[in-house]
Structure 1
């Protein structure tokens, strides 16, 4: 009996240490200095997490001034996260998108407006029925100017709604591109039930709210 109790205590000790280490690693991400991504061919990059990346990718791809949107993972403390690993909630990562845009056409500030305006800003740890830390809302900043833009808009929205805005604000560290089958998912799988029932309605709400930002159809 004593051996069983001793073994259980050892297991609990290591479990607690692993949990504490994970928390410590995640806190280091939150407290890190932001990494600024340089312009490339006049194009900038911005990073957002707002629930399922299929939905978010489709929204930003239709914003004027946005060239490309890539689905992936960011905000965690592990290297090379996968879809399966991030879904465990143990990596710290959230499903995120990399938005490649022309800052002479659309500003970072406007992209933040799209971010807050295309989600339920009050829902913590997910969007809609997609729940869990991998679906939590995170908005990433690359410098102090971007951080202040985010914080001011978040504060103003909180006052307007008279409630807490759930989005976390993280310094950008690294973006990990998701598996190929996640890219352009809405466009390639328009008849998928999730796309039909969740992604397209969310996209339509965005279009109704920001008609002036939607790319013209050609």
Structure 2
């Protein structure tokens, strides 16, 4: 099993997208890359702690490849937007990949190179060592599955989920 920690805007989008793929055994919303211990959603949303909203994705590489996991990531969000995704604005919504080994760092750099073929040279995704991962509050876990009719889920999350479903349909559960 492999675990990646990725940031691509609101963690609800990443969480809901990755849970639909074969080989993904766990997706946990959380925070990393900040200065405060055990941050809360409210504090992170203030934008002063340096944390990014992230997901920890655990997957079986014999079922879904590292490349597929990372290509989904670069399909799911716009890696050319600095400190934002659409109307979600702030450093907590930045694009980031947080590695726990040199192999992961190399895989992330390779994925950015592939993504440049689609997005061009303007990719702002940070690749940084993984610091402490803080699990987000329970109500953020599986938010879309629990609240599919909530306004943000209908307007923002559902279209992103549908986009990766269509492009990676062969990998769906």
Q: TM-score, normalised on structure 2? A: 0.94
The runs of at least 4 aligned residues of structure 1 exceeding 6 Å deviation read none
In the alignment, the residues of structure 1 paired with residue 34 and residue 64 of structure 2 have an alpha-carbon distance, to the nearest angstrom, of 28
- SS at structure 2 position matched to 1:198: helix
Unaligned runs of 5+ in 1: 1-42
Does the CA-based 8 Å contact 1:46-1:108 persist in structure 2?
no
In structure 2, the residue matched to 1:181 is 139
In structure 2, the residue matched to 1:71 is 29
In structure 1, the residue matched to 2:99 is 141
In structure 2, the residue matched to 1:166 is 124
In the alignment, the residues of structure 1 paired with residue 147 and residue 11 of structure 2 have an alpha-carbon distance, to the nearest angstrom, of 14
In the alignment, the residues of structure 2 paired with residue 138 and residue 51 of structure 1 have an alpha-carbon distance, to the nearest angstrom, of 9
Query: Relative to total residues, which structure has the larger strand share, 1 or 2?
Result: 2
Given the alignment, which residue of 204, 211, 214 partners 2:162? 204
Alignment of 1:57 onto 2:15: yes
Does the CA-based 8 Å contact 1:55-1:202 persist in structure 2?
yes
Does the CA-based 8 Å contact 1:108-1:146 persist in structure 2?
no
- SS at structure 2 position matched to 1:91: coil
In structure 2, the residue matched to 1:91 is 49
User: What is the 5 A alignment of 1:99-110?
Assistant: 99-110=57-68
In the alignment, the residues of structure 2 paired with residue 159 and residue 190 of structure 1 have an alpha-carbon distance, to the nearest angstrom, of 33
In the alignment, the residues of structure 1 paired with residue 119 and residue 40 of structure 2 have an alpha-carbon distance, to the nearest angstrom, of 35
Unaligned runs of 5+ in 2: none
In structure 1, the residue matched to 2:148 is 190
- SS at structure 2 position matched to 1:162: helix
Q: CA 1:135–1:102 in structure 2 vs 1: closer, same or farther (change >3 Å)?
A: same
Q: TM-score, normalised on structure 1? A: 0.75
Shift of 1:137: 0.8
Does the CA-based 8 Å contact 1:58-1:184 persist in structure 2?
yes
In the alignment, the residues of structure 2 paired with residue 44 and residue 132 of structure 1 have an alpha-carbon distance, to the nearest angstrom, of 29
In the alignment, the residues of structure 2 paired with residue 67 and residue 145 of structure 1 have an alpha-carbon distance, to the nearest angstrom, of 21
Shift of 1:205: 0.8
Aligned residues: 173
Does the CA-based 8 Å contact 2:8-2:79 persist in structure 1?
no
CA RMSD of aligned residues (A): 1.4
